[in-house]
Amino acid sequence: MVSGRFADAGTARRRLVTNVLAPPGWTNFVLANPAERGRDGETPPVTWTPDFARLFGEVNDQVNEDIAACEADVDKPWRVWPPDGCCHDFACTKRSVFMQDDGIPSSCLLLAEVQIPDAEYHLVLVVRTTNGQITLDNLTPALLTWPPPGYNLVKMQSAANPDLWEKV
């Protein structure tokens, strides 16, 4: 663990946020694809509009349909637009589309490692919006509020620096 700070939990209580190491897959991914890293510095959340809601749904559907799901393999490199891929490939592809094609700042597009109900570790994309955080997941076409029911956060990218991940 690198350091800790308190974050507003949206209520009177506060949560201790601890910086932790990024997954090795992320580190290798951005070394091979520097443009996919994004920039340092937190920006305001994306303004929630019907157009953005439609865009999030369209990109989620397109990526979920265009990449054939395969069994998770932690040794497999993270990729953008592979013909078949694991959850990290889906999440990185969605993040890339929003950053490169739609100009959404990387600080609004956070990768999150979660544990899903069957105890499997899984990677999703969390979009910071003025209407709260929205989760895009290759396991469902639905846009889910954060955190989705039954998902337990393991760690998430920091909005201030994509190479720092945070554990609550």
- Tell me the per-residue pLDDT of 115-137, one tens digit each, with 9 for 90 and over: 988 878 999 999 999 999 999 99
In this prediction, residues 47-73 reach a mean pLDDT of: 93
Which tokens go with 71? Answer: 């069994």
pLDDT at 3 over 50: no
- Tens of pLDDT, residue by residue over 145-161, are 998 999 999 999 999 99
Three-class DSSP category at 24: helix
Element (H, E) at 152: strand 152-157
- Position 166 confidence tier, pLDDT thresholds 50, 70, 90: very high
Q: Is 31 exposed, middle or buried (0-12, 13-18, 19+ CB in 10 A)?
A: exposed
Res. 2: pLDDT tops 60: no
19: left (phi over 0), alpha (psi -120 to 50) or beta: beta
**Percent with pLDDT over 70 in the chain:** 90
